[in-house]
Amino acid sequence: MSNLVELKKELQSLADKKQAEILQRFFKTGKGQYGEGDKFVGIKVPIQRKIAQKYKQLNLDDIRKLLRSKIHEHRLVALFILIHQFNSGDEDIKKDIYELYLDNTKNINNWDLVDLSAPNIVGKFLLNKDRRLLYHLAKSKNLWERRIAVLATFEFIKHKEGEDTFAIAEILLNDSHDLLHKAVGWMLREVGKRISLEKEEEFLQTHYKEMPRTMLRYAIERFDEEKRKKYLDGKI
């Protein structure tokens, strides 16, 4: 029996139908919703992390198969395994994982999958490299590729680099999707928290009047009440 078969059997043994129903609703899997058609078996994230740790030596071909599964937990475990291997691998392994990730963005198709992996794979790989790919992703028709673009910059922010976050935020200012409004606002807030509140405010003062309301609310979440009110009332 292959490791992939064993992994899937172990995940299935942990399935929880009631939890699956909760997750199906939480991740908007109904018709016309952003997660339409996604299937959950009902396993909580800490348990998935433990399974990923147990099977962290899974080969890339099997990880690719797991990442292409219709079951959400399979795809998240695949991503956790990729992160394990990326962190412990040499440059060649990191490159292989990065390329596998980009070849499978259509399967990294919900916000948790993106948020838990994009900084740790795409962001880390590009930290000391050309980042033009992120600008290409930011203009993609695929919602999740656009979210990958901005979330990847979280890794840069952790290294005190906010320029790409601001540049990608500008590209996404007029994005139509609420999930991008939240992601951009969150990353702008992180720039203010980890790098410079002054730089965040410089960006906001230029753009806050054109920002979607949700994006602005996320970006100013850590401001004091009086300042938040001024931004929301357009009186900065």
Mean of pLDDT values over 39-68: 98
Q: Please give the pLDDT value at position 153.
A: 98
CA–CA distance, 78 with 14 (Å, rounded to integer) = 16
Q: Which residues, in sequence order, are bridge partners of residue 71?
A: 39
- Which phi-psi region, left, alpha or beta, contains residue 234 (left: φ > 0; alpha: ψ -120 to 50)? left
Q: Please give the pLDDT value at position 86.
A: 98
Q: Please give the pLDDT value at position 2.
A: 75
Mean of pLDDT values over 177-189: 98
Q: Please give the pLDDT value at position 7.
A: 98
Among residues 65, 122, 132, the alpha carbon closest in space to that of 99 is found at: 122
Mean of pLDDT values over 122-131: 98
CA–CA distance, 125 with 83 (Å, rounded to integer) = 11
pLDDT, mean over the chain: 97
Q: Using one digit for the tens of pLDDT, what is the confidence trace for 152-171?
A: 999 999 999 999 999 999 99
Mean of pLDDT values over 54-78: 98
Q: Please give the pLDDT value at position 1.
A: 61
With 90 as the cut, is the pLDDT of residue 236 above it? no
Q: Please give the pLDDT value at position 211.
A: 96
* Token couple for 121: 């794979």
With 70 as the cut, is the pLDDT of residue 184 above it? yes
Q: Using one digit for the tens of pLDDT, what is the confidence trace for 68-97?
A: 999 999 999 999 999 999 999 999 999 999
**The amino acid at 222:** R
8 A C-beta contact, residue 156 and residue 127: yes
Mean of pLDDT values over 167-195: 98
Q: Please give the pLDDT value at position 38.
A: 96
With 70 as the cut, is the pLDDT of residue 131 above it? yes
With 70 as the cut, is the pLDDT of residue 6 above it? yes
